[in-house]
Amino acid sequence: MEVAAVRTHRHAAPLLRPFVTAARRTEAVEYLAIEVELRAGVIGQGTAADTKPVTGEDLASITAAVTGPITAALTGARGTIAELSALLARSVDGASSARAAVDVALHDAWGKAAGRPLVELLGGAVHTRIESDMTVSLEEPDVMAQHAREAAAEGYRVLKIKLGRDVDEDRRRLDAVLDAVPGARLRLDANQGWSVQQAIEIIGAFEADGLPVDLVEQPVAAADLEGMAQVRRAVSTPIMADESVWTAADARRIAELGAADMLNIKLAKTGGIPEAMAIADVARDAGLTCMVGAMMEPSITIAGAAHVALAHPAITMVDLDSPDWLTTRHPSGGYKVQEGWLALTGGPGLGMELLRPDQDPPR
């Protein structure tokens, strides 16, 4: 593969309703689309959304990283996909969202050049599917109950419930959701919102009452791995690390400390597909399982994440519902979700049409 050019264009899409967590509130997704054109004429694409509350990157810094050092490093570069991804990783410090978007574009181009779906080149099969969840963001209990009903009506059996703002109110939120959809399975995400003791008490109360909780994600501060290990030892509900795991080295540390049963892999944190697959390798070797998740990101990013999710045996869950929150969804192709089940639609690379600059133009 030889990179001929790297190009960018900006986009924005309002959300159907605000997305609220213990850490932030989002009402629109602004994102940068990246095209990587190979010398042979093949064009791969990726996207990077404003993820400042998590990665520290906004559209200005993402654009600067892509159009500056990343473009300088890749333009004219030639090598295997592994070599080009490694060159990309060395091109700029930090900027994980920016690097991930360009890396997805490189992998999309790789698949298109080979005439094969990316998932197959990563070791998986295109004709598989995986159950996804729908997120119920952090609102008043009655609002969360209504959103849970709507998700269940669309066929979702697994709901990801955002908690972590107030312990007493969190329980009322959860009770309202269960009253609305008593047959749902729940994944709870505190987004670092509880102390160690609060996490132990509230999860213990959920267990004592027999609530259908599959897992609790990032109950305590990301840096407090010993505290998260303490929570894990005190409860029987599986604990998932999210903000605590960005790299394979982080995954190894979590495994060594016994801080989590599961890892949430997000491309915007890992900086690209190779590191995401490396985290999954660590999890497999340590006997942990993985989810592939995302922040509030558009469908090209989600398609790349879906290919990764279906390519590794340690990845058993996905949380990739963010395009369903957008008022518009471009481009077409890549994957589909029916009654909560995500499946790829086939085609080389990501299997998507090219996103045009006039689709979701910035406002």
Provide CB contacts within 8 A for 227, sequence distance 6+: 196, 220, 221
Q: Is 108 annotated as a binding residue?
A: no
Residue 356 β-bridge partners: none
- Classify residue 119 as left (phi > 0), alpha (psi -120 to 50) or beta: alpha
3-115 and 121-344: same fold? no
Cβ proximity of 67 and 34 under 8 Å = no
pLDDT along the chain (363 residues), means of 10: 98 90 83 97 97 92 98 98 98 97 98 98 92 93 96 95 84 94 94 94 94 96 98 98 98 98 98 98 98 95 97 96 91 94 96 94 80
162 is catalytic: yes
Cβ proximity of 93 and 86 under 8 Å = no
Catalytic residue among 52, 112, 160, 266: 266
Q: How many residues does the chain have?
A: 363
Q: Is 324 annotated as a binding residue?
A: no
- Taking the domains of the chain in order of start, what are their residue ranges? 3-115, 121-344
3-115 is a CATH 3.30.110.40 domain:
no
What is the CA 128 to chain-centroid distance, rounded?
Answer: 19
Return the pLDDT at 128.
87
∠ Cα 94 100 105 (to 5°): 140
Return the pLDDT at 360.
86
Strand 25-38 relative to strand 3-20: parallel, antiparallel, unpaired? antiparallel
Catalytic residue among 112, 162, 269, 336: 162
Residue 68: how many CB atoms within 10 A of its CB?
14
User: CATH: 3.40.50.720, 3.40.1350.10, 3.30.70.141, 3.20.20.120. Which one for 121-344?
Assistant: 3.20.20.120
Strand 43-49 relative to strand 25-38: parallel, antiparallel, unpaired? antiparallel
Q: Is 242 annotated as a binding residue?
A: yes
∠ Cα 312 101 49 (to 5°): 110
